[in-house]
Amino acid sequence: MKFAKKLIAVLALVPGLAFASEGGFPLERAPDRHDLSSLQNGAKLFINHCLNCHSASSMRYNRLRDLGLSEEQIKSNLLFSQDKVGGMMTTAMRPDDAKAWFGAVPPDLSVIARAKSSPSGTGADYLYTYLRSFYKDDARPTGWNNMVVPNVAMPHVMWQQQGVRQAKFQEVPDPHEHGKMIHKFAGFEQVTPGTMSSQEFDTATADLVAYLSWMAEPAQGQRKKLGVIVLIFLSIFAFLAWRLNESYWKEVK
C-alpha cells in the first residue's frame, strides 16, 4: 500500500519533469496552413533559405509533385544547378566545416517536425515559435540569439525579411528565492523594419512550418483519406449485418 502511494506520487511528477526540461519559453500555436499553395510556398522558402546548411536526406525533389508541382516547375524554379529531380535534398556543406564555422552541426530536417513534438506543444508549434524568436545579440558569434534555444549556433537566416529585433529583459524579484533578482523576458522590440510586415513574416513562417510538417509525414493526407474510406466501409458492413440478422431471425420466429 505504501509502495503504491509512493509510486503514484512519483508518477504524478513525471509530466511536470518533462515540462520543466523544455526550457520554459511558451510555444505559440502554429496556424494550420495545409492548402497546396501554402505548402508550395513553404517548399520554396525551405529550399532557398535552409538547404544551404541543412539537409533533408530522406526527401527527394520529385516528391514535390505531390504538392501539385510539375517536374518542369521543380526543375526550373527549385533545383540548384548541380541537383537532379530524382535526387535527395542534400546540403553542399560538409559536417566538419559546419562544426568549425558554427560550433554545431545543423541537424537533418527530414523529420524535425516529428522530433520536436513534446508535452508543451506539437513539433509545428515548436518550429513556428523557434523561427520567430531570433533577436540581435552582439555577445554571440553569429550576432543572433534565440528565445526558444538560448545561445543557439544558428544565425537568423531570414532577418532581412523579419527585420532586426531586440529582446527586452526586466530585473524582477525571484518568486522562489527571497532577495534574488532574475532576468525576465519582456517582449521583442523592432529595431529596423524587414522587407515583410510582421503579419507577412508570420504567414511565411507558418507556410515553411507546414512544409516541414508535411515532409516529416507525407503519408498523413493519404492516411486520413484511407481512414474515411474504412469508416464508410464499416458503416455499410454494419448495416448489412443488421439486415441479415433481422432476416435470419424472421425464419426462426
Residues near ligand HEC (CB under 6 A) are 49-50, 52-54, 98, 102, 104, 106-107, 109, 112, 127, 130-131, 149, 152-155, 157-158
Q: Grid cell 524579484 — which residue? A: 173
Say how far residue 154 (Cα) sits from the centre of its chain.
16
Query: Quick one: 21 or 170, whose CB is closer to ligand HEC?
Result: 21
| Burial of residue 163 (number of CB atoms within 10 Å: 0-12, 13-18, 19+) | middle
Minimum distance between the CB of residue 210 and ligand HEC, rounded to whole angstroms?
A: 12
Residue 145 C-beta: closest distance to ligand HEC, Å? 11
Residue position matching grid coordinates 564555422: 101
Least spacing, CB of residue 54 vs ligand HEC, in Å = 5
By the 8 A CB rule, do 74 and 85 touch? yes
- Exposure of 246 by Cβ count < 10 A (0-12 exposed, 13-18 middle, 19+ buried)? exposed
98 or 167, CB closer to ligand HEC?
98
The CA distance from 198 to 158, in Å, is 12
Distance between CA atoms of 98 and 51, rounded to whole angstroms? Answer: 13
Burial pattern 192-223, b for ≥16 Cβ within 10 A else e, equals eebebeeeebbbbbbbbbbbbbbbbeeeeeee
Looking at the Cβ atoms of 80 and 237, the one nearer to ligand HEC is 80
Q: Pick the closer one to ligand HEC by CB: 67 or 147.
A: 147
Q: Looking at beta carbons only, is 67 or 211 nearer to ligand HEC? A: 211
CB of 138 to ligand HEC, least distance (A): 18
**Least distance between ligand HEC and beta carbon 93 (Å):** 7
Exposure string for 107-121, b = 16+ CB within 10 A, e = fewer: ebbbbbbeebeeebb
CA distance 104 to 96: 9
Which value, in Å, is the radius of gyration of the alpha carbons in the chain? 25
CB nearer to ligand HEC: give 69 or 113: 113
Which of residues 67 and 127 has its CB atom nearest to ligand HEC in the complex?
A: 127
CB of 154 to ligand HEC, least distance (A): 3
Smallest separation, CB 46 to ligand HEC (Å): 6
